[in-house]
Amino acid sequence: MTPWVTRLLIANIAVFFLQQANPGLTYQFAFTPPLFFEQPWTAVTYMFLHGGFTHLLFNMLGLWVFGPPLELRLGGRRFITLYFVGGLTGALLSIFTAAPIVGASGAIYGVMLGYARFWPRQQLLVYGIVPVEARWLVIVFTVISLIGTRSAAMGGGIAHYAHLGGFLGAWLYLEYLSRFTGAAAWRKKIAPVPSRGTVTDLDRWKGIKADALHPVNREEFDRVMAKIEQTGLASLTASEREFLDRFSARA
């Protein structure tokens, strides 16, 4: 378990127990769109409240599944930023509704989208039975949420706008990282160079302890190293080099 995922799990579970001891907390700190300018802090506090045990369980299960590999891939600071960006845009998009909303779903949907962006073809078992690729899971949930915003039958009691906002916020943040950060500038700088990677780089990457990686990252590491064996260092993409550099710094 990674540091920020652990902290978020503990925080959400602790607040849930506080809600049981003092039900009034739910009404005080839920996000109510018409009261946003009077209570702007609720755009953050609502993420740590839940409407029941099942609501908490499914959100924390999503965080536990998608969070650790994404935190390892992005780093702790960027991961927690993505988490809160997803939750905040979930609240902002919910301005179109009037009912109070609670739950970490917007933030969790943001984490799910981040996971699907980096590992789109990763197989996930829905209900432990049905295999679905991560990219299709995001597409299906997007369609459900879009229908839910229009259908009273599907929309009752579910914050579909918050779900869509979580996807939108995470996508915008990851696009920002891809286009405007130092890593993006580095990729542009090396893009014209036909040969990427050196023997020194390869030696450093071989020092990565694969057994210490999260299984999803370990699978990606094995794939990239196999690609080097088959087609050489020059065949690596900037994203693959960045992936290896991130973990070699910890080796």
Per-residue pLDDT tens, the chain, 251 aa: give them. 899 999 999 999 999 999 999 989 999 999 999 999 999 999 999 999 999 999 999 999 999 999 999 999 999 999 999 999 999 999 999 988 888 999 999 999 999 999 999 999 898 887 778 889 999 999 999 999 999 888 644 556 788 999 999 999 999 999 999 887 765 554 554 443 433 456 577 888 888 888 888 888 888 888 888 888 888 888 888 778 888 888 876 55
Model-level pTM? 0.76
DSSP string, 177-225: HHHHSHHHHHHHHHTT-S----HHHHHHHHTS-GGGS-HHHHHHHHHHH
CATH number of this structure's domain 3-180: 1.20.1540.10
For the chain, residues classed under CATH 1.20.1540.10 are 3-180
Q: How far apart are CA 55 and CA 59, in angstroms?
A: 6
